[in-house]
Amino acid sequence: MTTSSNEPILRVERLKKNFGGVLAVYDVSFELKRGEFLGIIGPNGSGKTTLVNLITGFVRPSGGRVLFKGKNITGKMPYKIADLGIARTFQMVRLFYNLPAYKNLIIPLCSSRVRRMRGGKYGEKDDEAVDLLDDMGFERDSYVPYKQVGTLPHGYLKRLDLARAMALRPELLILDELFSGMSMSEVASTLPLIEKFNREGLTIIMIEHRLKELFRVVDRVLVLNFGEKIAEGTPDEVMAEDEVKKAYLGIDVEIPPDPGTA
Ligand SMILES: Nc1ncnc2c1ncn2[C@@H]1O[C@H](COP(=O)(O)OP(=O)(O)O)[C@@H](O)[C@H]1O
Ligand SMILES: [Mg+2]
């Protein structure tokens, strides 16, 4: 059936990107339903970040198409794609290091997307920024929301980047290794937040190396290796595939000899 109501929110069709002779992403296709939670895994250098960059307009594809809510967004500028409702976090965070943490949320809070969504009001945004950070676990009564970003520990920067993405009120959120550099306790407090966003209807793509945590929250996983999609399915389904075990765990999978019936 192809009625507009079950039109996928995102459709990636045969996306390709080569950097010179390097095929970073090769012929990758997948679909995402509204409200779905998709995990993307794969070894280092398998094309995960490039795929995110292609979807969000940071890199132009060498081939293929990206459709968001049925609209072709291939090759559009990142700010246009963000304005349509796709927000992302960065593996290497990009923040305004000289500003207090909460001031980093002012740009998305003043974006045309957010203004449109709330009926064109400008007004004061500082309180709203602090509220948003409070929701992300930056307690408003602590010094953290007001501290200069450059002086905050790394785990805070990743969560601030998440807050920045959420300030845009996205319909699709893409997280590129959000948990890298976070402590166990930071992961433990951030994961329920992300689950809550998804329960409330947000569609999420999460690239993550911490499989245990990832597999707890996702509906489906896509596996990349050398730029190609090698598997897609539930966590159990993909991890059962020999090609995935070999690529992802770097081991040759052999059927163990029968322990013996004799
Ligand atoms: N801007 C770039 N210029 C040249 N090569 C790149 C660039 N970005 C990524 N690559 C190459 O593309 C491949 C995929 O990289 P990347 O998408 O970062 O993988 P992952 O996120 O899975 O670790 C790697 O071989 C990487 O070196
Ligand atoms: Mg990456």
Residue 160 lies in a domain: yes
Angle between helices 184-199 and 154-167 (to 10 degrees): 10
Q: What is the pLDDT of residue 254?
A: 53
Tokens of 209: 């190396």
Is 76 close to ligand 1, i.e. is its CB under 6 Å away? no
CA of 223 to the centre of ligand 2 (A): 13
Quick check: is 16 in a domain? Answer: no
Residue 98 lies in a domain: yes
Taking Cα atoms as reference points, which of 73, 32, 6 lies closest to residue 222? 32
- The half-sphere exposure of 246 on its side-chain side, counting CA atoms within 13 A, is 10
**Domain containing 123 — which CATH number?**
3.40.50.300
Q: What separation in Å is there between the alpha carbon of 46 and the centre of ligand 1?
A: 8
172 touches 53 (CB < 8 A): no
| Ligand 1 nearest atom to the CA of residue 207, by list position | 21
Tell the residue nearest (CA) to atom 26 of ligand 1: 45
pLDDT tens readout for residues 50-100: 999 999 999 999 999 999 999 999 999 999 999 999 999 999 998 999 999
Residue 69 counted as domain residue: no
**Does 4 fall in a domain?**
no
| 56 CB near ligand 1 (under 6 Å) | no
Q: Measured in Å, how far apart are the chain's first and last C-alpha atoms?
A: 55
Q: What is the dihedral of CA 79, 112, 202, 137, to 10 degrees?
A: 100
Any ligand 1 atom below 6 A from CB of 47: yes
Residue at 164 is within a domain: yes
pLDDT tens string 205-227: 999 999 999 999 999 999 999 99
24 lines ligand 1 (CB under 6 A): yes
**Is the shortest distance between the CB of 222 and ligand 1 below 6 Å?**
no
Residues 262, 259: Cα–Cα separation, whole Å: 9
**Residue-wise over 122-154: b if at least 16 C-beta within 10 A, else e?**
eeebeebbbebbbebebeeeeebbeeebeebee
Q: Give domain status of residue 218, yes or no.
A: yes
Q: Is residue 212 part of a domain?
A: yes
pLDDT, position 70:
96
Q: What is the mean pLDDT of each run of 10 residues along the chain (262 residues)?
A: 70 97 96 98 96 98 97 97 97 93 93 86 83 88 90 92 96 97 92 96 96 95 96 95 81 56 48
**What pLDDT does 6 receive?**
74
Q: How many domains, the chain? A: 1
- Please state the pTM of the whole predicted model: 0.92
Q: Which region, left, alpha or beta, applies to residue 160 given φ > 0 means left and ψ of -120 to 50 means alpha?
A: alpha
Q: Is the CB of 225 under 6 A from ligand 1?
A: no
How far apart are the CA of 127 and the centre of ligand 2, in A?
34
Domain extent for 42 = 35-61+75-249
Per-residue exposure over 182-212, b if at least 16 CB sit within 10 Å of its own CB, e if not? beeebbeebbebbeebbeeebbbbbbbebee
Give the neighbor-by-neighbor strand order of the sheet with 203-207. Answer: 86-88, 172-176, 203-207, 37-41, 220-225, 228-233
